[in-house]
Structure 1
Amino acid sequence: MNATPPVSGAPGARPHDRAGSRRDEPGAADAPAAAGTFEGLGLPEELLRTMTGLGVTEPFPIQAATLPEALAGRDVLGRAQTGSGKTLAFGLPMLVRTAGQRAEAKRPLALVLVPTRELAQQVGLALEPYAKVLGLRMATLVGGLSMGRQAAALKEGAEVVIATPGRLTDLVGRRDCHLDRVRTAVLDEADQMCDMGFLPQVTEILDHVPPGGQRLLFSATLDRNVERLVAGYLAEPVTVSVDHAKAAVTTMEHHVLHVHGADRFAVATEIAARDGRVLMFLGTKAAVDTFTRHLRDNGIRASALHSGKSQPQRSHTLDQFKRGDVTVLVATNVAARGIHVDELDLVVNVEAPTDAKDYLHRGGRTARAGESGKVVTLVTHGQRQDVAKLMSAAGIRPTVTQVRSGEAELTRITGARRPAGAKPEQTGRRPFRGLGAQPKKENRKAAEARKAAEARRAAQVRKSR
């Protein structure tokens, strides 16, 4: 097979022989503690200056462990939880090894595959300043946005493409993108892509990428489907683990709050009324919309995020949450990966997830990059056994507390308080019919007025972008 040649800007880069001899480290090795600085890890000076200007000076363990190997062209298999610094761990070597080359129209040189639109955009924003200083063009290819504009960006030439599997498959099928020049292919959050049913598309995409290049795969867990990708597409990778497969972030507190079924949404409403932002998870789009309306009725600045929203709406909602214009983001699992919000110290599972990995990724929205945070799960009597099994599978030993709305213990743990903006008949203690309640049927005039208002808001969002 062909070997990847050394690339300009990668000091000490050596060819990567995908048919080479066995490595000495076949198993997963724990990453060492982070080095003091990025100097000495093989990055070019222009990148180091940019990183210093952005305040990025101390590498996280996954970065310190993988950067030298990835810069040298070796395949890397990294196991790391969300928020551990994976983006720069794969992004910097990918950019450095691509620097100095120019992509032809529709033929990118490096590819990053991610499971969600939000994660694709986050990766693009994180890598943009480094790509710019190295003179590289990037294109983000995701559903929910104009395919025509994305095809035009590819035609103009983009060295690096960040994409979700579905949109990239569509563009390849339309012959708007050819992968025959890709030398570095990255799979980020590989387990999530498999869980979401993208494995056939991922393997089809990787089959279009020519052999002999570099593969970097990062995943929180290494289950059967991920192992299939590793066996089929990585050549004797350097394997690094920065934490155990079930590990929780050490700066994260986990609380299980036992609540009465009839009191659960009153408890959640009081938590939502706390000072500061909070991210709340429910299981379905309908549940998210219903509970968001309930919070707004109680005077709480809440907004909904789920796959039923258009991409401009989702981006606008996230921007509002990051700025603090919205203090409560109510979401389905669409936000459990790829959403980075600084100083978010509380995540609440109003409805507990059914899978341990979903729990870990929901919780990974807080306590990022060494910051502290809490994950709170509301559990009714009939759910206790299932949630206990889930916590055990996730490797979590939560603090369990029985609470009721209005109690001091609830305030101590979460900062909960009675909504200040609610009308007297709309307090956090007022009965809530629950997520299964059917909304009151609108008459035709009211429905038309509501749809017109939604259309105006959507137009304003598009105009603001």
Structure 2
Amino acid sequence: MNAKPSAPGLSPAGTPRRATGAQGEPSTPQGASPGLPPAASFDALGLPPELMSAMTGLGVTEPFPIQAATLPNALAGRDVLGRARTGSGKTLAFGLALLVRTAGLRAESKRPLALVLVPTRELAQQVSDALAPYAQTLKVRLATVVGGLSINRQQAQLRSGAEVVVATPGRLADLVSRRDCHLGQVRITVLDEADQMCDLGFLPQVTQVLDQVRPDGQRLLFSATLDRNVDQLVRDYLHDPVLTSVDPAAGSVATMEHHVLNIHAADKYATATEIAARDGRVLMFLDTKAGVDQFTRHLRASGVRAGALHSGKSQPQRTHTLGQFKDGRITVLVATDVAARGIHIDTLDLVVNVDPPADGKDYLHRGGRTARAGQSGTVVTLVTPNQRRDVNRMMSEAGIRPTVTQVRSGEAKLTAITGAKRPPTGTKTTSGNVPFRGLGSRAGRPAKESRKAAEARKAAEARAAARVRKGR
């Protein structure tokens, strides 16, 4: 790997430089030289007038802290290592610099000039949607490359030429192996949510990508945590990066409330159902795809407008369900951790862990769907007696000190914390840990009859018919 030469007067390659004025304390060596100071406003960055006009039209007038801290260095072509939780404005922090530095260049067929690598399809679509109006303003062609959608259409986009590609690692690797995409001309590479890409097992694909892009190119890496494999990526592939941290390492925020609700195991799903029936939207996390589907069917049968989101759904199904949740056609999104990152829902004020997450990192990313960009929000975790020790450990890992309350379904204090109320149809909720088997998938739909029950019913009908005939 060829190292990009350091700028004059800056620290040696491989040593993160601290960006001044950022909030939080990044772990950077003593004596590391600073990067450029934060921008007081977008005007101070010298952005193209047409881009400034587009930003103003979309209501983007003042930079968020991560944008103010990173944009001066990113626009100057320096490598940036950004630590910030989801919802902090990272997309424009890297996106504006990437588009400005690419504007005016023309990509050859199949040879993009800039790459944004993200862990999930949802995040890829979110990044593309956020950057699309600015890319159009600057006449930069943008292509989105993800699994679950037509690869033929994506091949056609790359053949016609795209300066910027937003991609998930798996689909990008497929297109590279088919020789439909060549990365040798990529001069700016962004790794967004790098820690999740590592957690999901994408590290080999990520390193393969970084080995193929221009070795003297710019790298912008954003991650909520900078541990283990992310730290290895930084050491191996970033050249003299400026480290910017706008959140404490634990990722907690003052506008977010954290509640642990201790409940009886038999009351868990009645409690969850009453929370789901609240006024306003709620995102609810369960551990498994089967659990998500069962609970969603149960909520629909109870008169709650709910939708399911997990990796077993096709991409069009996932996109449709997210669209329904965003525009209010459904009020409850029941999901596995596929929704824990890369999903931006405006003014979502409640996240509920029906099943507690496995570790502190997962907790922070689930909770990161609320209290975004300075908004307030609440994260609630339902905890049965046998889960308390693990949840205490998980909260400690996350750096969270929650408010702990003992509740039961139907209690006023449950309503006070979550807005819970009885389901709209008055359907009796089912208790127990496997409560929903056999419920229909729509409100009012009867439960499906099992084969054994159907055989017994037919035998009984035959016996009754025989008695009628005998009595004639």
For normalisation by structure 2, the TM-score amounts to: 0.87
2:306 corresponds to 1:302: yes
2:270 corresponds to 1:269: no
2:143 corresponds to 1:139: yes
The residue aligned with 1:454 is: none
Q: 2:75 & 2:40 partners in 1: Cα distance?
A: 19
The residue aligned with 1:209 is: 213
Q: CA deviation at 1:317?
A: 0.2
SS in 1 for 2:351: strand
Q: CA deviation at 1:432?
A: 4.9
The residue aligned with 2:245 is: 241
**Which stretches of structure 1, 4 residues or longer, exceed 4 Å deviation after superposition?**
18-22, 27-31, 33-36, 435-444
2:27 corresponds to 1:23: no
Q: Aligned partner of 1:230: which letter? A: V
Give yes or no for contact 1:182–1:213 (8 Å, CA) kept in 2. yes
2:301 corresponds to 1:311: no
Q: CA deviation at 1:296?
A: 0.9
Give yes or no for contact 2:265–2:432 (8 Å, CA) kept in 1. no
Q: 1:435 & 1:136 partners in 2: Cα distance?
A: 52
Percent of aligned pairs sharing the same letter: 71
Deviations 1:406-460 (A, max 9, x none): 00000000000001124xxx234x435526957777568xxxxxxxxxxxxxxxx
Structure 1 21/225 Cα, relative in aligned 2: closer, same or farther at 3 Å? farther
SS in 2 for 1:186: strand
Q: 1:199 & 1:152 partners in 2: Cα distance?
A: 27
Q: CA deviation at 1:76?
A: 0.2
Structure 1 246/29 Cα, relative in aligned 2: closer, same or farther at 3 Å? farther
Q: CA deviation at 1:17?
A: 3.6
Structure 1 389/432 Cα, relative in aligned 2: closer, same or farther at 3 Å? closer
Give yes or no for contact 2:51–2:137 (8 Å, CA) kept in 1. yes
Structure 1 202/299 Cα, relative in aligned 2: closer, same or farther at 3 Å? same
Q: CA deviation at 1:58?
A: 1.0
Give yes or no for contact 2:118–2:197 (8 Å, CA) kept in 1. yes
Residue from 172, 184, 192 that aligns with 1:188: 192
The residue aligned with 2:420 is: 416
2:164 corresponds to 1:154: no
Residue from 15, 32, 35 that aligns with 2:22: 32
Q: CA deviation at 1:155?
A: 0.4
Q: CA deviation at 1:28?
A: 4.6
The residue aligned with 2:407 is: 403
Deviations 1:33-58 (A, max 9, x none): 78653110232221111111100111
Q: CA deviation at 1:390?
A: 0.6
Give yes or no for contact 1:287–1:435 (8 Å, CA) kept in 2. no
Give the superposed CA RMSD.
Answer: 2.1
Structure 1 95/319 Cα, relative in aligned 2: closer, same or farther at 3 Å? same
Q: Aligned partner of 1:303: which letter? A: G
2:213 corresponds to 1:223: no
Q: 2:9 & 2:208 partners in 1: Cα distance?
A: 27
Q: 1:200 & 1:317 partners in 2: Cα distance?
A: 31
The residue aligned with 1:431 is: 431
Q: 1:343 & 1:144 partners in 2: Cα distance?
A: 28
> Aligned runs of 1:12-411 on 2, under 5 Å?
17=5, 22-23=10-11, 26=16, 28-29=18-19, 31-32=21-22, 37-411=41-415
The residue aligned with 1:460 is: none
Unaligned runs of at least 5 residues, structure 1: 4-15, 445-465
Q: 1:303 & 1:242 partners in 2: Cα distance?
A: 34
Q: 1:394 & 1:342 partners in 2: Cα distance?
A: 24
Q: 1:44 & 1:31 partners in 2: Cα distance?
A: 25
Q: 1:265 & 1:26 partners in 2: Cα distance?
A: 48
Q: Aligned partner of 1:332: which letter? A: T
Deviations 1:309-330 (A, max 9, x none): 0000000000000010000000
Structure 1 26/179 Cα, relative in aligned 2: closer, same or farther at 3 Å? closer
Q: CA deviation at 1:21?
A: 6.2
Q: 2:20 & 2:380 partners in 1: Cα distance?
A: 29
Q: Which structure would you say has the larger Rg? A: 2
SS in 1 for 2:205: helix
Unaligned runs of at least 5 residues, structure 2: 24-37, 440-446, 452-472
Deviations 1:371-419 (A, max 9, x none): 0000000001111111011111101010100000000000000000001
Give yes or no for contact 2:98–2:114 (8 Å, CA) kept in 1. yes
Structure 1 19/69 Cα, relative in aligned 2: closer, same or farther at 3 Å? closer
Q: Aligned partner of 1:125: which letter? A: D
For normalisation by structure 1, the TM-score amounts to: 0.88
SS in 2 for 1:269: helix
Moved more, 307-316 or 26-35: 26-35
Structure 1 40/29 Cα, relative in aligned 2: closer, same or farther at 3 Å? closer
The residue aligned with 1:450 is: none
Q: CA deviation at 1:357?
A: 0.7
Q: 2:266 & 2:277 partners in 1: Cα distance?
A: 19
Deviations 1:158-182 (A, max 9, x none): 0000000000000000000000110
Q: 1:201 & 1:97 partners in 2: Cα distance?
A: 26
Structure 1 276/154 Cα, relative in aligned 2: closer, same or farther at 3 Å? same
Give yes or no for contact 2:67–2:90 (8 Å, CA) kept in 1. yes
Give yes or no for contact 2:277–2:304 (8 Å, CA) kept in 1. yes
